[in-house]
A = this chain, B = another copy of it.
Amino acid sequence: MTASLQELLELELPVIQAPMAGVQDSALAIAVSNAGGLGSLPCAMLSLEALREQLAAIRAACDKPYNVNFFCHTPPTPDAQREAAWRAELSPYYTEYDIDASTIPSGARRDPFSAAALDLIREFKPPVVSFHFGLPASDLLDGVKATGAKVISSATTVAEARWLESQGVDAIIAQGLEAGGHRGMFLSTDITGQVSTLALLPQIIKAVNLPVIAAGGIADANGVSAVLALGAVAAQVGTAYLLCDEAATSPVHRAALKDAGAVHTALTNRFSGRPARSIVNRVMRELGPLGQVPPFPLAATAIGPLRSAAEAGNLGDFSPLWSGQNPSGCREIPAAQLTRELGQKY
């Protein structure tokens, strides 16, 4: 038998706020955890100094369970040919925005979990640590477990769920195809194997003996009830939090989420090198959502100056407008209110 959610995470409500790198910090996590859900701090885009500050902020404001999330990709080998091809594809836009591509610095904006980050986990001892793109190397994973943290990771296929179980995670997030942001896929790059929450969740529940959390397409209390009916122990909700007062969602991103066009999303690798769900914008439409871009996260480099230039003119044409397929839960309300409403039928 799988553990109940209470046994696992000591939560009042079966609601987990999805970690969303780039659009939130500890403020959102604190609000959700204090409201009885599980708030999450995304760390992939934080320096170690910023990570320390954010962890300290949570400790100061919250004595409820919370989650700290890391990416755990293998740092890529730069690929000069792909980088050049990607810049060539973007060159008409560089011309349009009068950007000298030769001045764009190289370098990634997303770091994988590291020994230095583990030191901070040892220091702050967060109750839950979650990973995206699989799990870190076993010495790092063992280090996290040794702190007493519950370890969670996302599976996008039954095979990934079985693999995570074999590695000793405490719970699995079944990430349906609807979910906004990066697909957690790590055993395969074949997106034809990526299926919806309704299709994926029951298959993962059958395949593993662990609590399974549902993610993707859940926007309201009925959505939470639906995934609990399918056997999930909790719902992980991301998109619905993006307009909350405590989210750091950019103005162009907020505008896109409020626009009727938000129903048009696609998996795209244009912003980072890995498939992630974004509202369809100009660059996705004109170049196609998927292309031969540099490996994750290096694709972000070449498109970065275009994003900045366009955003300066209030255009999200080159910005990752992460959103799931169900933006209907997005409201400009406090995150605590949203959390309680999501969990109200529990």
Contacts and interface: CB of A to CB of B under 8 A. Distances in A.
Interface string A54-75: 0000000000000000000000
A237 B220 CA distance: 24
Contact of A202 (B177, B200, B222): B222
Q: Place the interface of chain A in its size category.
A: 35 or more
A280 interface: yes
Interface string A255-288: 0000000011110000000000000100000000
A266 B176 CA distance: 15
A204 to B, nearest CB: 10
B196 A325 contact: yes
B195 A263 contact: yes
A225 interface: yes
Given A206-B328, A226-B229, A230-B226, A196 B196 contact: yes
A190 interface: yes
Contacts of A280: 192
Nearest to A225: B229
A207 to B, nearest CB: 10
- A190, A227, A264, A265: which has the most chain B beta carbons within 10 Å? A264
A108 B219 CA distance: 42
A295 interface: no
Contact of A196 (B157, B198, B229, B263): B198
- A190, A198, A217, A228: which has the most chain B beta carbons within 10 Å? A198
Contacts of A199: 178, 217, 219, 324-326, 328
Interface string A173-213: 00011100000000000101101111110110010000000
Contacts of A190: 264
A304 interface: no
B195 A198 contact: no
B192 A216 contact: no
B264 A202 contact: no
Interface string A229-246: 111000000000000000
Contacts of A263: 157-158, 193, 195
Nearest to A195: B325
Given A196-B216, A198-B217, A226-B227, 13 more contacts: A178-B196, A192-B266, A195-B265, A195-B325, A196-B217, A198-B216, A198-B226, A198-B326, A200-B326, A202-B222, A222-B229, A222-B230, A225-B230
